[in-house]
Amino acid sequence: MSELKSVSSRVPRALIEAFATFDTATLYESAGQKGMVDPAIRPAWTGARLCGPALTVRCPPRDNLMLHQAVTLAEPGDVLVGAADSFVLAGAWGEILTVAAQARGIAGLVFDGATRDTEAIALRGFPIFSRGLAIGACTKERFGTINETLDFGGVRVRPGDVVVADVDGVVIIDQDQAQQVYEAALARRDREQVLMEQLLKGKTTLELLGLPKVKEGTLKGRG
């Protein structure tokens, strides 16, 4: 097992909190269409949403020892980003780990594997995004890694990168680009607000976005 170590995000806490006010699609577009995690990783319960710096953890399939280790290492506000080789036949996270995580102030879990105890976790309000749900059991025997770079759902995640997740999906923001992405997201939100105001006044998306119009005579009537 690699040495367990704490890695602080280089992103200021105030900036991380500001990212929580944006939806994931806006952040993805503002990052130059980068950072979108595999859409198969979905919220485990309706209304789940999270934002925070990544604490990365790799688990062998069907074993959750490293998740238990990661919970003890996490700082308040961290998001656990776990990879288990996309294995979905065993629930590696359940209510017990949820209670342990909430006691330490962990902001949530995104997991490329399966979780369980969904109803109980939803009642506790702990945000989880996972590839699947499964009642299969895990061992607690095998080592993996903590706070090393992961390939998570097709995205490279480093410890301290910013994770934002909502109903539309999960996006990873490179910590070295966080300020630029935030500024681009602010500008995008302002532009979209102006667009929506113009649409309510009768303008069309074709006009406002400069989209090409279909040539006359090419549209067929309803018959």
Please name the helix (run of DSSP H) or strand (run of DSSP E) that holds residue 162, with its range, or none: strand 162-166
**Model pLDDT for residues 55-98, shown as the tens digit of each residue:** 999 999 999 999 999 999 999 999 999 999 999 999 999 999 99
**Model pLDDT for residues 85-135, shown as the tens digit of each residue:** 999 999 999 999 999 999 999 999 999 999 999 999 999 999 999 999 999
Q: How far apart are CA 24 and CA 5, in angstroms?
A: 29
Give this prediction's pTM.
0.91
- Chain-centre distance of CA 132, in angstroms? 15
Whether the CB-CB separation of 50 and 81 falls below 8 Å is answered with no
At residue 5 the predicted structure's pLDDT band, cuts being 50, 70 and 90, is low
Q: How far apart are CA 80 and CA 82, in angstroms?
A: 6
DSSP secondary structure string, 104-149? TT--EEEEEEEE--HHHHHHHT--EEEEEE-----BS----EESS-
CB atoms within 10 A of CB 207: 12
Beta-ladder partners of 42? 130
Domain boundaries, the chain: 13-183
CATH of domain 13-183: 3.50.30.40
Beta-ladder partners of 155? 152
Q: How far apart are CA 186 and CA 164, in angstroms?
A: 16
